[in-house]
Chains A and B, each alone.
Chain A
Amino acid sequence: MKKYLQIIKDTWAEYMMYRLNFVLWRVRMVMQILVVYFLWWAIFSQKQEFFGYTQSMILTYILLSSIVRTLVLGTTTMDIGDVINKGDLSNFLLRPFHFFHYYIARDIGDKLLNFTFAVVEITVLYFFLRPPIFIQTNIVTLLFFLAAIIIGTILYFFFSLIFGFLGFWTPDVWAPRFLSFVIMEFFAGALFPLDILPKPIFFISQLLPFSYFLYFPLKVYLRQLPIEMLLQGFAISIAWIIGLMVCAQVLWQKGLKVYTAEGR
């Protein structure tokens, strides 16, 4: 356990080494929230209700999504492709811990740091903007919300891991990742709740893993899902976790067999 705590500390130390980089990253995150927030704020200047959402519901969705995002989508696994391609993976294979566990520890460090900053930023934004927000007080709903976040986090970890493992077979790992980002940003529901989309597109989004990164946890928080939809959501997302976990394991095992430590 001690070694993993040290990895978390090292991750923080690494971010603090490049402070300007980290600060600008957080500025970006705030800008992204503001862009979406102001768009919806503008829309609600002319309407009281939109797609079944009140202003407080949608603004809560947007602001909370930036916090959930740090937990679910915050990851350091992006660099795995380069680690493999540069041959740096050899160092990890010699260390006394599993590669997956190393990245889980690093991700925990990343998520904790970004989560802390996001909470502070949202608090500051709240005091400046004074938006009407919806506070969920139902304990059971909050527990479901927490469970949905944990599931989304695990799901995204394996999803991102798989794209990193492409590095075993190709040096060009950024193009597939870019494509996945584009699709994920849309179907995760970062810009808007997915249920405002036309029904066929919304239906497809429910079957993909992306909607369980942000949309599903946020809908759980807003308590806008009937019990059958809630159970269906948990069932589909858990099925995706199993599928992606198996896929990641298989790719890891097969990848190690073709790994040549090229670049060392």
Chain B
Amino acid sequence: MTTLGKYLLLWWKLTENSFLVSLTNRFNAILFFIGKILRFGFFIVFLLALFTRTEFLAHYSVAQVVFFFLTFNFIDTVAYRFRPMVVSGDFDLVLVKPINPLFRALAGGADPLDLFMLIPYIGALIYVATRLGTVSFLSLSLYVLLLINGFLIATGFHILVLALAIMTTEIDHTIMIYRDVTSMGRVPVDIYREPLRSMLTFVIPVGVMMTFPAKAFLGFLSPVAIVVALILGMLFLLLCLRIWRYSLSLYASASS
């Protein structure tokens, strides 16, 4: 079996296990799912209340803003349960297995409920995208390309959080700080004033991650910006991987 095949099979098994764990208590799973749907719906209500009275904000229409929000949700659907492994020393068991520990840490705790949430997100994205009237092969290709770039940056951020978890055994708040910062991408970062806008684009690349795919789809992104975004995404991920490797050398195997 090829390495890729092995990892795909492993991902499938981990996801299957994750489903089984989540669905052990169906009532809980339903409550969490309702909570996630409500959170999504409430923010849509807020956006509509906000933007229907302004018509345009930073030259974006209501439908476009909703499209940005949907793109944000699509990228943001990741969850974590890594800290207990580090705090209890159980991460030892991952390190001795013949798999990349980073793969196990990143793919091992995906929340199946988040995967379910992708269904309404994708449905709503398709609906809004067709309403925007800008769908073409090029716009769609650029959107997918920059979405992948956004996923790479999001993965980089999560690797950073994992590295910090190993170095400090603290992850609960750092992952939430990451989520708070990226939540600025729920609306297009262009609406923020300078210097915040540039910071969110180049320093903490929330804009590249969340706003650029939708902007490319709408035809608001120059070719130069697209190339810069892709280079930034790759460089950021490589940097995060180096930090991860360094953090592994500091793992203390606490409590094991």
Contact = CB atoms under 8 A, between A and B. Distances in A.
| Contact-size category for B | 35 or more
Contacts of A38: 184, 192-193, 196
A35 B204 CA distance: 14
Interface residues of A, number: 36
Query: Which secondary structure dominates chain B's binding surface?
Result: helix
Interface in A201-257: 201
User: By CB atoms of chain A within 10 A, which of B29, B49, B53, B174 has the most?
Assistant: B49
Contact of B53 (A25, A28, A51): A51
Given A38-B196, A42-B192, A43-B57, A197 B49 contact: yes
A186 B43 CA distance: 8
A27 B31 contact: no
A258 B58 CA distance: 58
Contacts of A172: 25, 27-28
Interface in A23-44: 24-25, 27-28, 31-32, 35, 38-39, 41-43
Given A45-B193, A197-B45, A182 B35 contact: yes
B32 A24 contact: no
A139 interface: no
B25 to A, nearest CB: 5
B170 interface: yes
Contacts of B57: 42-43, 46
Interface stretch (B7-15, B175-183, B237-245, B246-254): B175-183
Contacts, number: 96
A182 B192 contact: no
B180 A35 contact: yes
Contacts of A100: none
Contact of B177 (A20, A28, A191): A28
A87 B191 CA distance: 51
A41 to B, nearest CB: 7
A35 B183 contact: yes
A179 B35 contact: yes
B168 A20 contact: yes
A39 B184 CA distance: 8
17 contacts: A20-B170, A21-B170, A25-B173, A27-B177, A28-B177, A42-B192, A45-B193, A50-B53, A50-B54, A175-B27, A178-B35, A181-B35, A182-B39, A182-B42, A196-B50, A197-B45, A197-B49
